[in-house]
Structure 1
Amino acid sequence: MLALSAEGILPKIDYAIFADTGWEPKSVYDHLDRLEREIAKPAGIPVLRVSSGNIRSDALNPDHRFASMPLYILNTDGRPGMTRRQCTGEYKVKPIKKKIRQLLGYPYPARVPKGVFVEQWIGISTDEFHRAKDADVKYMQNRHPLIDMGWSRSDCVRYLTSLNLAKTPKSSCLGCPFHGNAQWRHIRDNSPAEWEDVVEFDAAIRKGNARANASGSRLLGEAFLHRSRVPLGQAPIDHVTASEWAALQQELADEDELERGVADGCSPWACRGDADALAQGGFGLAT
């Protein structure tokens, strides 16, 4: 969306916001630097980096309140479980909302007047349209330009390829328990230092986060980053799961589409050419 705005395909946005958990892969930070340098700055679009802290450090700090990650649990009776996921709200949503209130001129605890809001673009494509939701506060109104343009993941990949940005890395915490085996293998095989980091973290949270342990709320079972509920260094990450195989087939299909063209591109109900017209709609930020 940043590139589409910078090129004038979508209206120019006022700001681009990146919520930094403090524990992203180096490739993500490198890519963000490149986007800012090559796309955002030439177009005069400020890239704002916001943060609520470092999620890795917070989990291991006995003096810091920690918003729990969705860790896989093996209870003492052998039954599996999972901790609550609070990290997205704390390390992504919260700092973004804080910055938006500042940009509007009404930082917390000031009340945002009725009718004052920001239009927030969210990059969800048609493949995941079910994730498109309205904002939960009145001072934010969510828009989903990629869905409005009818763009799928394949369309996004094709566009990024045209900008030499096809290798855009996925933004997520290095030690996110929702990683699939393919992501764990990628870290292990391509970044030994980051792999050592996540293996060490996995061992460190075996009995839960440090704050809970310090307060006497020690986890009765054991916590793990990998869904197999064994230490990450021993986890069966070389096994290709059914979902990962399906994702691989989709990637191959996307590559084939890039070479051969879109098979259903002339469907009367889903013509990709309609994206040009939709792109000219009113996606500008509200004032």
Structure 2
Amino acid sequence: MLALSARGILPKVDYAIFADTGWEPRAVYQHLDRLERDIATPAGIPILRVCAGNIRNDALDPDHRFASMPLYILNQDGRPGMTRRQCTGEYKIKPIKKAVRELLGYPHPARIPRDIFVEQWVGISTDEFHRAKDSDVKYMRNRHPLIDMNWSRADCVKYLESLGLADTPKSSCLGCPFHGNAQWRHIRDTSPEEWTDVVTFDAAIRQGNARANATGNRLLGQAFLHRSRVPLDQAPIDHVTAAEWAALQPQLGQEQVDVAELEQGVSDGCSPWACRGGVEPVQDDFGLAS
């Protein structure tokens, strides 16, 4: 959408906003720098980088309140589960709303007049039109230009290729549990430093986040980044078939396994307004996700 706006195919936007969780892959930050240098700045479109902290560091800090990641849980009785997903609301939606309020001149906790609002473009394509929703606050009105243009994910990829951006990386936390095996392999095989980072993090959160442990709320079970619920450096990430998956994890026989999702990850990704988690962010009285 930024490129379409910069080139006049869509109207020129006033701002583009990137919500930084503090733990994106190195390639994402490099790509963002390139977009800003080669596309946004020449078109006069400022990119605002907003951040509510570093999700990795916060999870390992016993003194910091941590918004839960959707970790895979193996309970003491062997049953599988997942923790609540709060990270999108805390690290993406909340800082975006904070920035929008400031752009409008009504920072929290000021009340925003009913006739003051922004038109917010959300990059949802026709493949995921079911995730196109109205905003949950009156000062932000959602619009979905890609759907208006009848563009699919394939159309977006084709356009990026035409701009020399075929190598656009997928934006998500380096250690996001929604990664598919292909993404885990890519990290392992192309970036040893980042692979060591996620393996170390996976081991560190085995008993839950540090704040919960420090306050005596130890996880009754074990937490993992990979859906196999084994340590990441031992997880079956090399093209596991459905039959192999069933043989490797007989205790998880009741869990539905989508082999395509297992390999490629969750197709809808983890954008601020279309996270696969399925849990709507909690909203406080001022329209900030909490």
Band of TM-score, shorter chain: 0.7 to 0.9
- Give yes or no for contact 2:126–2:146 (8 Å, CA) kept in 1: yes
> Within 5 Å, which residues of 2 pair with 1:163-202?
163-202=163-202
Give unmatched runs, 5+ long, in structure 1.
Answer: 251-287
Give the CA deviation at 1:246: 8.6
CA offset digits 1:71-127 (Å, max 9, x no partner):
001111111111000000000000000000000000000001111100000111101
Residue matched to 2:83: 83
Q: Answer whether contact 1:50 1:95 (CA < 8 A) is retained.
A: yes
C-alpha contact 2:122 2:145 (8 A) present in aligned 1: yes
Match of 1:214 in 2: 214
How many residues align structurally?
249
Tell me the equivalent position of 2:154. 154
How far the C-alpha of 1:239 sits from its partner, in A, is: 2.6
Given that residues 182 and 244 in structure 1 are in contact (C-alpha distance below 8 angstroms), is that contact kept between their aligned partners in structure 2?
Answer: no
Say whether the 8 Å CA contact 2:59–2:210 is kept in structure 1: yes
- Shift of residue 178 of structure 1? 0.7
Matched, 1:243 2:260: yes
RMSD: 1.5
Cα drift, residue 229 of structure 1: 0.4
* TM-score normalized by the length of structure 2: 0.84
Q: Is the 8 A contact 1:74 1:221 kept in 2?
A: yes
Residue type at the aligned position of 1:54: N
AA in 2 matched with 1:167: D
Amino acid at match of 1:114: R
Write the letter of the residue equivalent to 1:3: A
1:115 aligns with 2:132: no
Q: Is the contact made by 1:72 and 1:225 (CA closer than 8 Å) also made in structure 2? A: yes
Q: How far does residue 220 in structure 1 lie from its aligned partner after superposition?
A: 1.4
Measure the CA separation in 2 of the matches of 1:69 and 1:94.
15
Q: Is the 8 A contact 1:177 1:225 kept in 2?
A: yes
Secondary structure of the residue that 1:120 maps to in structure 2?
A: strand
The reply to whether residue 103 of structure 1 matches residue 120 of structure 2 is no
Task: Please tell me the residue identity of whatever aligns with 2:7.
Answer: E
In structure 1, the residue matched to 2:224 is: 224
Give the Å deviation of 1:166: 1.1
- TM-score scaled by length of structure 1: 0.85
